[in-house]
Amino acid sequence: MTARARGELAGARRVVVKVGSSSISGDNAARIQPIVEALAEAHRRGTEVVLVSSGAIATGMPFLALDARPTDLATQQAAAAVGQNILIYRYQEALRPFAIVAGQVLLTAGDLENPAHRSNARRAMERLLGLRILPIVNENDTVATHEIRFGDNDRLAALVAELIGADALVLLSDIECLYTRPPDEPGAQPIRHVRFGDDLSQHEFGSVVVNSVGTGGAATKVSAARVAAAAGVGVLVTSADLVSEALRGADIGTWFDPDPSAPAPATTGTVRAPESVAAVDTLGR
């Protein structure tokens, strides 16, 4: 059932969680563990969880002796190829104590525009969820080009939430909620609730931020939240440090109401296979 308010997140059937590069790479790599613990707690309650995780390029940079995010496409692709492998390994190691297996899903913008590829992606993720696998989705940076990219993984997360009929989307950020202007500026006020169709044009969310490890910012999260909400998916924007509270339905962050006229997410009737989690014991051996 679609989450119509943040308090319903704890009982959501299917949730997409997105985390950005700056939250899990470099000095923040240790934050993978508490994020995974929160996902495992929701998984234990019976929630189907999909993680959209940035961070492949940022994770690969130190292994290519890069001090800053590369600007040329070929080096970005090389860093992503190295980093994606390491990133998934880190997630799987963090998931191991919970007997949860991760499944890697790499997508390009073209995959979601092509009907056959879109159908295949949906079917694969439905099966992973039916097997109680935790899909970890990222943009396929090794084949994507500057011309055909999602632009940021906030948008990818919104499109994935729509693709699989998620009940809610949680966009993790560096701050607890969105503000009417950059929070370090005088007069900035927190935005706690955005009703569907609310006019936000008077607020100053700023342009996309490009830092040493990734891209994103408040503006991209607002845009992605609008996409998901229009598809009938409720959206919470909050801090990565509060992911556990978010998935428990705590009164935190900025909540975007879903379009009340959007059709309810379709259920697929996938067959559970709880015994599949035993496979985690043999991974890496």
Measured CA to CA, the distance from residue 122 to residue 100 in angstroms comes to 21
Question: What pLDDT, on the 0 to 100 scale, is given for residue 275?
Answer: 38
15 or 262, higher pLDDT = 15
Using an 8 Å Cβ cutoff, are 229 and 166 in contact?
no
Question: What are the start-end ranges of the E strands in 20-133?
Answer: 48-53, 102-107
Binding residues for substrate, as ranges, are: 54, 141, 153
pTM (two decimals): 0.88
Instruction: Provide the pLDDT confidence category of residue 117 given band limits of 50, 70 and 90.
Output: very high
Measured CA to CA, the distance from residue 180 to residue 185 in angstroms comes to 10
130 or 219, higher pLDDT = 130
Binding residues, as ranges, are: 18, 54, 141, 153, 173-174
User: Which of the following CATH numbers is that of domain 6-265: 3.40.1160.10, 3.40.50.10490, 3.30.420.40, 3.40.50.720?
Assistant: 3.40.1160.10
Measured CA to CA, the distance from residue 194 to residue 271 in angstroms comes to 36
Among residues 59, 48, 57, the alpha carbon closest in space to that of 17 is found at: 48
Predicted confidence (pLDDT) per residue in 190-224, tens digit:
999 999 999 888 887 754 444 444 445 788 999 99
For the CA atoms of 37, 82, 284, 244, the dihedral, rounded to the nearest 10 degrees, stands at 0
- What's the rounded mean pLDDT across residues 225-244? 96
Question: What pLDDT, on the 0 to 100 scale, is given for residue 201?
Answer: 83
- What's the rounded mean pLDDT across residues 138-144? 84
Question: What pLDDT, on the 0 to 100 scale, is given for residue 221?
Answer: 93
Q: For residue 48, is pLDDT > 90? A: yes
Predicted confidence (pLDDT) per residue in 258-272, tens digit:
999 988 765 544 433
Using an 8 Å Cβ cutoff, are 215 and 22 in contact?
no
**Ranges of each domain in the chain:** 6-265
Binding residues for ATP, as ranges, are: 18, 173-174
| SS3 assignment, position 105 | strand
**Quick one: tokens of 32?**
């993978």
